[in-house]
Amino acid sequence: MKEDKIFQRQSFYRKSMYRQRMKQQIRNKHFPRIRDRIKEELKKLLNQMVQFITTKWKSILVLALALFSLLTVVYSNSQFMFGALSSVSYQLTTTSYLSSEEMLVALNHIFSTYELNLSNQLARLKESKPGYDEYIVKGREQIGHDPHVLLAYLTARFGEIKDQTSVEPAMKQLFVQIYQVSYREEREIRYRKVKEEVLDTSGKKTIVEKEVPYTYRKLIATVSKNDMDVVIQSIFAGSPSNLEHYRILRETKGNLETAFPSGTTISLPGNVSSVYDVNLTGGNFPPPNPNHVAALNGGYPGQCTWYVYNRFSQLGKPIQHSPMGNGGEWAFYAAKYGYPVSREARAGTAVCMPPTVPYADPTYGHIAFVERVNPDGSIVISEMNVKGEFVISTGYLPREMAAQCYYINFGL
């Protein structure tokens, strides 16, 4: 441009404008804008896609159909799996007892205690209804129940149970509907021999024996038992869903058949009361309540361990841990769980007797509740299974024997 004569004759302003136009033309030719380059690339890509589709349309169609089929299968399987999981969850909910196993044991024990008290009441008619010559009890052998029928009923009616006191009225009502006791008196004239002093014809006293009539009185107590299953079905007669749930649980046994064997009846001691020979004069605590069963009870029903759980629960300080082992092992387990254990006797503690203590069982030891500590160091205890299973009684340990024991503080 410098050699162009026309350019040389132009003004400075025109020369500047001319230079700018030339530079812009050079830039447009050799350096296109980014937006224009993107447009060009998109056009090329679109042309390539159109060309690919027109030449490969059959392959693309097959691939699309295959992908659609795969997605359909995945969706169907996911729906099936979700339905299967829902079905399994529903099955577990409807076929299993919903309460904890500890609560189930406690509920079954409560009902067994009702039955035990009824049996003991019948066994002690002479004390409760004196004045008869003979006492006859009919039907006592019927007392007992299948735990699975009871637990199926409670689960179908109440669902998950966390507080045993909330269902005790219903259990008591069920018990009343199942068991009835009727009494009747029979009288008959019998004769007994009596000796009588009489005077003979010579006026001499002599003893003669003769028969005299008297009224012989019998008290006959008869236990009538309605089938628990029939009673429960009548209770659920107006609730089809509850009835169906109950029947399912009966069939499956709550998936806990081994924990509660079917047909098990209560373990009944023979002709003794569930509270027997209890003398707590001067004690620091109310007498044992044979109807109270701890919600958490790690002991075996009717044994000393079972009673101590119940006793502390009755007094407002339930034992919070299980297992505690055999009676003679409680001190070890208590220390492991963090309860204070000492060799000093104190009322309101559990007294653990190792097998070496003469009062205890030589194999399992013994556990009891300290009701009172006497000034001379001897102790008065309440216990179970010394005079029979489920039988609560009191015992006495002299100072020398009490000193060999361990005392567990559960908070009283």
Same domain as 221, residue 346: no
| Residue 274 resides in a domain | no
| Residue 4 resides in a domain | no
Q: What is the mean pLDDT of the chain?
A: 83
Same domain as 125, residue 251: yes
Name the residue with tokens 């006793």. 311
Strand 366-373 relative to strand 350-353: parallel, antiparallel, unpaired?
Answer: antiparallel
Q: Structure pTM?
A: 0.51
| Containing structural domain, residue 349 | 304-408
Same domain as 311, residue 202: no
- Residue 82: is its pLDDT beyond 60? no
Final residue belonging to a domain, choices 219, 238, 255: 255
Q: How far apart are the first and last CA of the chain?
A: 115
Reported as a pLDDT band with limits 50, 70 and 90, residue 121 is confident
How many other β-carbons are positioned within 10 Å of the β-carbon of residue 140? 15
Same domain as 213, residue 109: yes
Residue 337 has which token pair?
């769980």
Same domain as 312, residue 227: no
**What confidence score (pLDDT) does residue 9 get?**
60
Q: How many independent structural domains does the chain possess?
A: 2
For 196-244, write each residue's pLDDT tens digit.
Answer: 888 877 878 888 888 999 999 999 999 999 999 999 999 999 999 999 9
Same domain as 104, residue 223: yes
Residue 21 has which token pair?
């136009």
Same domain as 203, residue 109: yes
| Residue 225 resides in a domain | yes
- Residue 285: is its pLDDT beyond 80? yes
Same domain as 251, residue 105: yes
Same domain as 350, residue 239: no
Mean pLDDT of 360-368: 93
| Residue 51 resides in a domain | no
**What confidence score (pLDDT) does residue 381 get?**
96
Residue 54 has which token pair?
């027109």
Same domain as 328, residue 247: no
- Residue 267: is its pLDDT beyond 50? no
More confident site: 129 or 55: 129
Same domain as 113, residue 248: yes
**What confidence score (pLDDT) does residue 296 get?**
83
| Residue 294 resides in a domain | no
Task: Give percent of the chain with pLDDT exceeding 90.
Answer: 46
Contacts of 109 (CB under 8 A, 6+ apart): 293, 297, 301
Same domain as 311, residue 251: no
For 19-69, write each residue's pLDDT tens digit.
Answer: 777 766 666 665 556 666 677 777 777 777 766 666 666 666 667 777 777
Q: What is the CATH number of the domain that holds 344?
A: 3.90.1720.10
